[in-house]
Structure 1
Amino acid sequence: MTKQLNFHIKELDSMKKYPNEIFYKGNTSLLRKRKISIVGTRKPNSYTKQITHKLANELSKREIIIVSGAAIGVDAISHNAAGSLNTIAVIANGLDIKYPAINSKLIDSIEKEGLILSTYKDGEKPRNYTFVHRNELVVALGEILIVTQADEKSGTLTSINYALEMGKKVYTIPHRLNESLGTQKLVEEGLIEPIYNLDKFLDTFGTINKNDSELDTYINSFPLYEEALKKYKEKIFELELEERIIIENGYIKPI
């Protein structure tokens, strides 16, 4: 059931205009926790998928809530890697509409265990301007913005512009030549900062929650499939059935 938020979110004061109405489904206590926004292309390459997952998953283990926009690609990877309990999804339409449809299961899960936000009433369909406004809200909620991949004409660049206008630090990951040209250009201009050492970057946000399972840590090390079966046979099969991992070239990769 869609509800209207009845308290002030201080982070949204950094927006050009504080939203007149904010609607939600889920656990609003997540808004009071430390938050980081992760966004990027809808068509990430395999390297981006891997690093995005690691960043979101490891930050979540440090009790940081991951904020993104529920789109396909980097957004969905970020939500999944954080886990529904530890993520906030901001969408560009009414909360009664599951968009994009391909992410309907993910959105359902976040509604039940995490938090879904929108500034649009039920029945409002997504339009070009609603995505732009959605991007601003995603950026405002996080203390920093991480953009793992973006092309030169990507809509993600509007998120970076919002972050810079708000005075937030923007991070990206290093890419090969002719990849993620949108972020590479901004790195060259000194506007955003690349993450060269993931572990060092992650450690600036605290230590890992000791309650996290040994299996999660193992899966995020991209182990050999045969070795994983020997250690966690039934669990590996469960993760495959739940589509939380894929097998590529004999290695397990988290989704």
Structure 2
Amino acid sequence: MTPHGEPGLLEAVLRATGSRDVDPVVACTRVAWSVVAEPGDAIAGGLIEGLGPAAAFEGVLGAVDDGIGGLLALCVERGVAGTDDPTGYGRALTKAVERWRPRLAHADVGAVLAAADAVGARLLLPDGPAWPRAVDDLGHHAPLVLWSRSSHGSVADWGDPPAVSVVGSRANTVAGSEAAADITSRTADAGCVVVSGGAYGIDATAHRVAIAAGATTVAVLAGGVDQLYPAGNVEMLRGVAQRGAVIAESPPGTRPSRWRFLARNRLIAALGDVTVVVEAGARSGALNTAHHAGQLGRTVFAVPGAFSSAASVGCHRLVAQGRAQLMVHPDEAAAAAVAHRGGEVALPSATPLLVHDDPDVLRVLDALGRRSLSVDELARRSGLSVADATDALALAQIQGLTQHGVGGWSRTAAR
């Protein structure tokens, strides 16, 4: 399970981290932990903090064979968080070992590192120079490792600028897309990183506008970084990796799942100095992100909508319950993020985003005929690169000018 005496594995982890200054045994053990424990597992986080990753892992292996007595005694001796009540902690530790047991025999660190290497993913470790310090605010719920796909290193490598997390409904309205585009555009103008979850709807709008504005953007995935999801956003996520980073805490090869989407929301909240909920239904996952942000002491904004809109019910409730500030102006998020870092920002007097005037958008709209076309065909017809055509189509979609279906891209019926 740990990499003692495995030179090939040691070389693989050094290659994944891009540094020979890391302790490869600690790195490999953290990777093993990320396979065994689900994201946000506080018992795993407490054990690692109190005993160190390698000793904690060895202790769990011993507990599987001999019971938790020895591990519990060591935890009490070291003052691991929660052991002031040894009986209660013992019960929690027993449950934890039982949920880790099925995966312990299959924690193949070499396979994980090979999967990461296949997509050019980088392994980020706590206390390493590339680690985004903001996630440390999660305490024992912080990620054990992070995996990053990026053309620019990591979040920390970009000079640690202020960040704004923009989240909202997957089934957004046109008004919601326009609001998200305006907020993201102002955020980009202020030099902030744009963080979101890579999903359909508001997330995709935020990422696409950030890419079009030349801003840094980060997408946090619910599965492994080799599992770009959803399928319809794969090209967009590749664009995010070009302009910023696609990151995940689950090891490569991990499939997205409902509980992992909820778990990754805490990372979106932690990475942003400010979280903006643009649209959210009564049961939207964006409300979960807002809850995490509030627990971390981050500023939360909610964008108002029509009182009759089901997509705005969650936003209105956040404000009514005092869990979010009402967003009055799209510049407020960037200003609050910069202020959180102790700075000031001169709010730009930007005009609303009018994609009709973008020359690339006009070219792809002219190239669209009556039938649906692929991005490749539109790029050929418009004389644009595939990447520029994709960005132009996304901006046109924000304004309701285009739509994407099974057969490709087409103009909306209303146009």
Residues 192 and 334 of structure 2 are in contact (CA less than 8 Å); yes or no, is this contact kept in structure 1?
A: no
Out of 215, 237, 262, which is 1:132 matched to? 262
Out of 40, 49, 74, which is 2:168 matched to? 40
**TM-score by structure 2 length?**
0.52
Report which stretch shifted further, 135-144 or 148-157.
Answer: 148-157
Find the aligned partners of 1:96 and 1:248 in 2 and give their Cα distance.
31
- Equivalent position SS for 1:89: strand
- Equivalent position SS for 1:170: strand
Out of 164, 186, 189, which is 2:294 matched to? 164
Question: What residue number does 2:316 align with?
Answer: 184
Question: What residue number does 1:198 align with?
Answer: 330
Out of 20, 26, 44, which is 2:144 matched to? 20
Residues 207 and 217 of structure 2 are in contact (CA less than 8 Å); yes or no, is this contact kept in structure 1?
A: yes
Alignment CA distance shift 1:191-1:78 (3 Å): same
Find the aligned partners of 1:25 and 1:86 in 2 and give their Cα distance.
13
Question: What residue number does 1:237 align with?
Answer: 362
Residue 186 (structure 2) pairs with residue 58 (structure 1): yes
Residues 67 and 89 of structure 1 are in contact (CA less than 8 Å); yes or no, is this contact kept in structure 2?
A: yes
Out of 87, 92, 96, which is 2:226 matched to? 96
Find the aligned partners of 1:159 and 1:31 in 2 and give their Cα distance.
25
Structure that is richer in strand per residue: 1
- Equivalent position SS for 1:72: coil
Larger gyration radius, structure 1 or structure 2: 2
Question: What residue number does 1:4 align with?
Answer: 123
- Equivalent position SS for 1:32: coil
Residues 170 and 202 of structure 2 are in contact (CA less than 8 Å); yes or no, is this contact kept in structure 1?
A: yes
Please state how far the C-alpha of 1:196 moved relative to its aligned partner: 1.6
- Equivalent position SS for 1:15: helix
Q: Cα deviation per residue 1:94-141 (whole Å; 9 max; x = unaligned)?
A: 111121000000011112231111001111000112111111001000
Q: Cα deviation per residue 1:65-110 (whole Å; 9 max; x = unaligned)?
A: 0000000001000011111651011101111112100000001111
What code does the residue aligned with 1:245 have?
Answer: A
Structure 2 runs not aligned, ≥5 long: 1-119, 339-344, 366-377, 379-388, 402-415
Higher relative contact order (CA 8 A, sep 6+): 1
- Equivalent position SS for 1:88: strand
Please state how far the C-alpha of 1:198 moved relative to its aligned partner: 2.9
Find the aligned partners of 2:325 and 2:207 in 1 and give their Cα distance.
23
- Equivalent position SS for 1:96: coil
What code does the residue aligned with 1:156 have?
Answer: A
Find the aligned partners of 2:286 and 2:332 in 1 and give their Cα distance.
26
Alignment CA distance shift 1:203-1:143 (3 Å): closer
Residue 79 (structure 2) pairs with residue 79 (structure 1): no
Report which stretch shifted further, 10-19 or 162-171.
Answer: 10-19
Q: Name segments (4+ residues, structure 1) moved above 6 Å.
A: none
Q: Cα deviation per residue 1:39-61 (whole Å; 9 max; x = unaligned)?
A: 01001111111010010111111
Aligned residues: 235
Please state how far the C-alpha of 1:238 moved relative to its aligned partner: 3.8
- Equivalent position SS for 2:322: coil
Structure that is richer in helix per residue: 2
Residue 241 (structure 2) pairs with residue 111 (structure 1): yes
What fraction of aligned residue pairs are identical, expressed as a percent? 22
What value does the CA root-mean-square deviation take over the aligned residues?
2.5
Find the aligned partners of 2:319 and 2:145 in 1 and give their Cα distance.
36
Alignment CA distance shift 1:41-1:124 (3 Å): same
What code does the residue aligned with 2:300 have?
Answer: V
Question: What residue number does 1:213 align with?
Answer: none
Alignment CA distance shift 1:137-1:195 (3 Å): same
